[in-house]
Amino acid sequence: MRNMGGEQVEEAVASAVALLRTATERDWETTPAGRLEWTCRYTAEHVAGDLIAYAGQLAGRATKAYVPFEITLDEGTGNEDVLQVIETTGALLAATLRTTPREVRAFHPYPYRSANREGFAALGVAEVFLHTHDIAAGLGLAYEAPAGLCADVLARIFPHVQPGADPWRTLLWATGRGDLPGRAPVTEWRWRNNLVVPAERLTLQGVTPAAATDLAAGGDGGFAWVEGGPFQGTRDAAGMLLKAYGAGVHRPEWGVFVLVRGEDGRAVGGMGFHGPPDEDGRVEIGYDLVEAARGNGYATEGLRALSAWALEREEVTSVFATTDPDNTASQAVIVRAGFARVAGEDSGSAEGAEGAEQFAYELRG
């Protein structure tokens, strides 16, 4: 899987600073930064502040709020010096990303109150790209961020945005900085880090389009799996997620989750929804578990946690699950999770994707 980490932050900072160094003799103090109400100078200082803040969140393992500090530049600091500060804070974030374990999450408000190291890396890269665009627009400079890195950002913190042929223009559109043919202008937007649902021994970690791309292609999706993982069902679900993402209908909270053990950070299975709730408020859930992890109650624990999360949503009235009649182990998992068998019109069964008879179960709030 193509990582998002220190190297990418350094790449973003280098591309930005190289351009802005060509205009350090210009007036940054009074020139507005593109469509922002900020000046070019304030915007540059803001970039440095964001980079060090993200490093502080991860290094300090802050989980409830932002660490209460900010960066202050010395009086008389010139434009060239500001760029040096951006390089320095970028290097600090890059170093923090390289030394932060994968399972560490720190506070970030949007939208689920936390982000992992890949999320903070994507946030840092996006801040650099977008605000360099703003400063460049104010100073009359031409700037184009690297397309591949823009696509990586979109696939991690803009999972709800349909990808476009031009990732840089798509990122600008998604943040209200440009237009895209056939799409309405964006006037309000937020980052979207992945959702994590806690369980007793597990966390259910939302799969981003970036991770789904790797899983569907036979990779690990950025997770450390137990022997034999991931199961084919998880790869198939990742492929369905990618289809929804490409069509612009992916709703991340109703997507795919990987079950990760708290004791060692190992992924043991996949679980997720077949799509958002229907008009009656019913949402269907499915799961699989790596063979080496079966028999430990992980599927039951994960199913309880994710079903409970779903039923807390206002738009959900029930959670639905199906299983093959001969899959007694799966039936036991569903029943232990609190589901009740529901009868079909005649036989108490439902039809699967290929028309095969299946047993149906439902859990109501």
Q: How far apart are CA 209 and CA 153, in angstroms?
A: 10
Contacts 24+ apart (CB under 8 A), 263-267: 263/201, 265/101, 265/102, 265/103, 265/224, 266/224, 266/225, 266/226, 267/220, 267/223, 267/224, 267/225, 267/226, 267/229, 267/230
Q: Based on the fold, state whether residues 115 and 253 are members of the same structural domain.
A: no
DSSP secondary structure letter of residue 181 = T
Q: How far apart are CA 56 and CA 191, in angstroms?
A: 19
Q: pLDDT band at residue 343, thresholds of 50, 70 and 90?
A: confident
Domain boundary among 174, 207, 231: 174
- Give the pLDDT mean for 94-118: 96
Q: How far apart are CA 18 and CA 83, in angstroms?
A: 9
Helix axes 6-20, 79-99, angle to 10 degrees: 170
Domain count, the chain: 2
pLDDT of residue 345: 39
Q: Does residue 354 have a pLDDT over 70?
A: no
Q: Based on the fold, state whether residues 201 and 342 are members of the same structural domain.
A: yes
Reading the block at residue 50, the tokens are: 């964001």
**Distance (Å) of CA 78 to CA 23, 43, 54, 137, 211:** 12, 14, 24, 20, 41
Q: pLDDT band at residue 351, thresholds of 50, 70 and 90?
A: low
Domain assignment present for 180: no
Q: Does residue 1 have a pLDDT over 80?
A: no
Q: Based on the fold, state whether residues 143 and 20 are members of the same structural domain.
A: yes
Please choose, from the candidates 46, 199, 62, 202, the residue with its C-alpha nearest in 3D space to the C-alpha of residue 127: 46
Q: Based on the fold, state whether residues 154 and 38 are members of the same structural domain.
A: yes
Q: Does residue 68 have a pLDDT over 60?
A: yes
Please report the DSSP string for 292-336 in residue order.
GGTTSSHHHHHHHHHHHHHHTSTT-SEEEEEE-TT-HHHHHHHHH
Q: Does residue 211 have a pLDDT over 90?
A: yes
Q: pLDDT band at residue 2, thresholds of 50, 70 and 90?
A: confident
Domain assignment present for 211: yes
Q: Based on the fold, state whether residues 278 and 328 are members of the same structural domain.
A: yes
pLDDT of residue 200: 96
Return the CATH number at 101: 1.20.120.450
What residue numbers bound the domain in which 215 lies?
196-364
Domain assignment present for 335: yes
- For the stretch 289-303, pLDDT in tens is 999 999 999 999 999
How many degrees, rounded to 5, is the angle at CA 81 between CA 75 and CA 83?
130
Domain assignment present for 343: yes
Domain boundary among 174, 208, 239: 174
Q: Does residue 82 have a pLDDT over 50?
A: yes
Q: Based on the fold, state whether residues 142 and 251 are members of the same structural domain.
A: no
How many degrees, rounded to 5, is the angle at CA 207 between CA 202 and CA 210?
145
Q: Based on the fold, state whether residues 307 and 351 are members of the same structural domain.
A: yes
Mean pLDDT computed over every residue of the chain: 95
Domain assignment present for 179: no
Domain assignment present for 187: no
How many degrees, rounded to 5, is the angle at CA 255 between CA 106 and CA 189?
60
Q: Based on the fold, state whether residues 168 and 211 are members of the same structural domain.
A: no
Domain assignment present for 157: yes
Q: pLDDT band at residue 346, thresholds of 50, 70 and 90?
A: very low
Q: Based on the fold, state whether residues 35 and 151 are members of the same structural domain.
A: yes
Strands 318-323 and 282-289: parallel
Q: Based on the fold, state whether residues 156 and 208 are members of the same structural domain.
A: no
- For the stretch 269-288, pLDDT in tens is 999 999 999 999 999 999 99
Q: Based on the fold, state whether residues 91 and 33 are members of the same structural domain.
A: yes
- Give the pLDDT mean for 101-120: 96
Neighbours of 69 (CB within 10 A): 11
Return the CATH number at 331: 3.40.630.30
Q: Does residue 348 have a pLDDT over 60?
A: no
Per cent of the chain over pLDDT 70 is 96
Q: What phi and psi, each to the nearest 5 degrees, are found at residue 163? A: -65, 150
Domain boundary among 174, 207, 226: 174
- Give the pLDDT mean for 305-312: 98
- Give the pLDDT mean for 36-61: 98
The neighbouring-strand residues paired with 357 are 351
Domain assignment present for 1: no
Reading the block at residue 205, the tokens are: 């970690």
Q: Based on the fold, state whether residues 153 and 229 are members of the same structural domain.
A: no
pLDDT of residue 23: 98
- For the stretch 220-261, pLDDT in tens is 999 999 999 999 999 999 999 999 999 999 999 999 999 999
Rounded to 10 degrees, what is the CA torsion of 28, 122, 1, 203? 170
Please choose, from the candidates 16, 79, 90, the residue with its C-alpha nearest in 3D space to the C-alpha of residue 42: 79
- Give the pLDDT mean for 11-21: 97
